[in-house]
Structure 1
């Protein structure tokens, strides 16, 4: 029987986490590993309905797809109890199935798990396997989550009252997290913005990130030059860390929860270079009807071409997205200045020569994809690590400007104009191209991420 090492990859079942883990799995597969990639059943069914992306993987030698049942409430609410009981049982059953001699593949030799899947630590111990943690978050966000414990111990969170969100309390400097300079409380992941001491997301993320001290190694989708300060600090307190990104520059394989509209690329082909603003809030963010309308008017007032992704479920309480947009934006679309699409292949759109900038929710995958192609960003962070990503994009790396949470059409239009043709926009574009070159250096032969992949394989996965 083939004696190649067999890695099981289990991502958290939301699109951004799945796609970054899938790129990592493809990278390891190309390095000679047998891969079993684990989806939850409902997510995989949805993906099969919306795209044929997986056919190439199904046909790949030594790349296998398995499914297990994951509780829908867990996906939405981070249910701690279900993580450690119900899902451990399902995962254990899958491991026994894969390790059965009749399965036709060698036994699993390592588990690579999304950082928020806490039950996999116990499963790895049961089967005497190394456990490797994969973070689809950036290193700065990782460090922020890691220090939820201290924030709770110092009683800085939960908030004392709802008014703390707007009364200046979140402007409190946090100057004691190693490797993280010039940050305030508001720049840390948004789970801290609760008044409930029993808040499930806050307490679960604290729990999950304290478990990481038990892992064999940590893989992060970033590169050393981008987040070097915090990576140095993390290296002194955590298991070995391997930065392998941007994964978007290494693999173009991705999955989609929605059917992709290929007309986007044809439409972009008809536009001038550096003339279009791309707008997408990812797969998870929700806008109110009023916020959607303000963004719409902002795009109208900007007088620049735009491609806007309005996916199903983007508007709160409106699964069909039949909110009436202003007639003016519909007129602009009819005149060819704008295009609204339900979903697209984002990496291909971002790399299209007509795209000049990205109005984004600041998810880490979107941030890394934008850096990888040298695009400046307008950031409207929605949840979780996105506030941290936004802070570094705008305040530290010099490649973005933030849109305030209370969306204002005039401000949106002004920022788009500045990005597209202003002095600040020109500086951001120059800086974005510098970071693009840094990213390419990292993944090229001899670069930091290239070498880290080799070290990960030698020191952990083949050991």
Structure 2
């Protein structure tokens, strides 16, 4: 019998690619599984420019990269407001090439595909091979996606009136938790014919047709939501947090890499680590809005004033292109009091090695966009969060961080200097001990989940065994 051959196809964005590369490496550690990783040409080139990913994966003779075009012009920025175009390009240009790979005579025996790619269901059926969806957003967020038809049927979307604090009652298991403002950002659309809402409805119909769904999460964090999923899709694999799952496996194998483990699409400025070394334990606030989010220049200045007024040392990632309007206005033209205060107690970089930063002993809080990878990385390191979500799933994540998991504060829909200052002081001073103690409890659960006999360790073993044995 031929060895299993898995074709992995992520959504071509930083978060999903990072997640799926970690899963691919975990599969490669089992030499009986061959892995083909399908990247878009744009993403592959950026990985090659910014990381040692090619060298790192050369250690695995059972792994190979292949690429396809994404259908977008090279000058498309491929950031937050371009996601719909990215999906359309994949569906129109990439998916026919993906289909050719799948139905080829020596094609894969299993597909692991981003949950947003609804076309994969029909291709897997045509090829008569198993399909596993990997949703790299949080299960709590995906569960709200699947509830969109219920929300429409109950008349809860589109919203009637302007009260964003009204409770939402039609998401099973989340009654009393979610307000309108906590639903995924696309739920604020006034028209149900919105392309993203229609795609989400389509995704919900397709995801249940897969042989299983993989999540980057763990039972101790999202057990109740995972139980909801298992009632609909029995084969659920909760194998996260993936970034410590892979570190744990590599540490116990003969394949321990001597290189970095970065999957970043931006060059990381390592000088910030030396800056962090100069600060006391739990004294620095890390600030980053991730790989896709943008903010206006007005919001940028409010953030900056709030940070300097808090008197807290801060490390701030200002990704190129993330501040709309700043390109025309040189950053040196900001008010003098901001630049002077930043020289005293701030460090600004264009991109940072986030996993290493959050693990640094000087980090005491994280002002984040609430992307799922960032949220999990913060949880693992026991770092409390201040959440300023940008779009889609991040609104649900931030509500769960603040209201359900009690790991920080939710600052969504607010961006003024007084609020930023107040919340930074709450996390870094006023309630510092309370938040750190709660974060440590959840960190311990995360680490235990990937230890031998932990829930994520066992789910990964089950996933690998099922890939070896599964037939449609």
What TM-score does the superposition give when structure 1 sets the normalisation length? 0.91
Conserved 8 A contact 2:310-2:424: yes
What is the SS of the residue equivalent to 2:39?
strand
Correspondences of 1:11-50 after superposition (within 5 Å): 11-32=10-31, 33-50=33-50
Give the number of equivalent residue pairs: 447
* 1:295 and 2:290 aligned: no
The alpha carbon displacement at 1:404 in A equals: 4.2
Correspondences of 1:75-90 after superposition (within 5 Å): 76-77=83-84, 84-90=91-97
Q: Which runs of 4+ in 1 moved over 6 A?
A: none
The alpha carbon displacement at 1:82 in A equals: 5.3
Deviating more after overlay: 221-230 vs 44-53: 44-53
* 1:245 and 2:240 aligned: yes
| 1:62-119 deviation digits (Å, cap 9, x = unpaired) | 111111112338962157765555433121233356x44xxxxxx4110000000111
Q: Distance in 2 between matches of 1:129 and 1:320?
A: 52
Q: Report what 2:109 is aligned to.
A: 109
Correspondences of 1:113-128 after superposition (within 5 Å): 113-128=113-128
Conserved 8 A contact 2:282-2:361: yes
Deviating more after overlay: 192-201 vs 141-150: 192-201
What is the SS of the residue equivalent to 1:255?
coil
Q: Report what 1:454 is aligned to.
A: 461
Correspondences of 1:328-347 after superposition (within 5 Å): 328-335=337-344, 337-347=345-355
Q: Among 179, 186, 192, which residue is 1:191 paired with?
A: 186
Name structure 1 gaps, 5 residues minimum: 101-106
What is the SS of the residue equivalent to 1:274?
coil
Question: Does the C-alpha gap of structure 1 residues 328 and 237 become closer, same or farther in structure 2, counting only changes over 3 Å?
Answer: same
Question: Does the C-alpha gap of structure 1 residues 80 and 311 become closer, same or farther in structure 2, counting only changes over 3 Å?
Answer: closer
Name structure 2 gaps, 5 residues minimum: 248-260
Q: Report what 1:5 is aligned to.
A: 4
Q: Report what 2:334 is aligned to.
A: 325
Question: Does the C-alpha gap of structure 1 residues 317 and 333 become closer, same or farther in structure 2, counting only changes over 3 Å?
Answer: closer
Q: Report what 1:311 is aligned to.
A: 319
Q: Report what 1:129 is aligned to.
A: 129
Q: Report what 1:103 is aligned to.
A: none
What is the SS of the residue equivalent to 2:208?
helix
Question: Does the C-alpha gap of structure 1 residues 211 and 45 become closer, same or farther in structure 2, counting only changes over 3 Å?
Answer: same
Q: Distance in 2 between matches of 1:353 and 1:190?
A: 34
The alpha carbon displacement at 1:317 in A equals: 4.5
Conserved 8 A contact 2:51-2:262: no
Correspondences of 1:167-206 after superposition (within 5 Å): 167-168=162-163, 170-182=164-176, 183-206=178-201
Q: Report what 1:218 is aligned to.
A: 213
Question: Does the C-alpha gap of structure 1 residues 289 and 197 become closer, same or farther in structure 2, counting only changes over 3 Å?
Answer: same
Q: Report what 2:437 is aligned to.
A: 430
What TM-score does the superposition give when structure 2 sets the normalisation length? 0.90
Question: Does the C-alpha gap of structure 1 residues 136 and 263 become closer, same or farther in structure 2, counting only changes over 3 Å?
Answer: same
Q: Among 283, 295, 307, which residue is 2:291 paired with?
A: 283
Alignment RMSD (CA, Å)? 2.1
Q: Distance in 1 between matches of 2:36 and 2:335?
A: 48
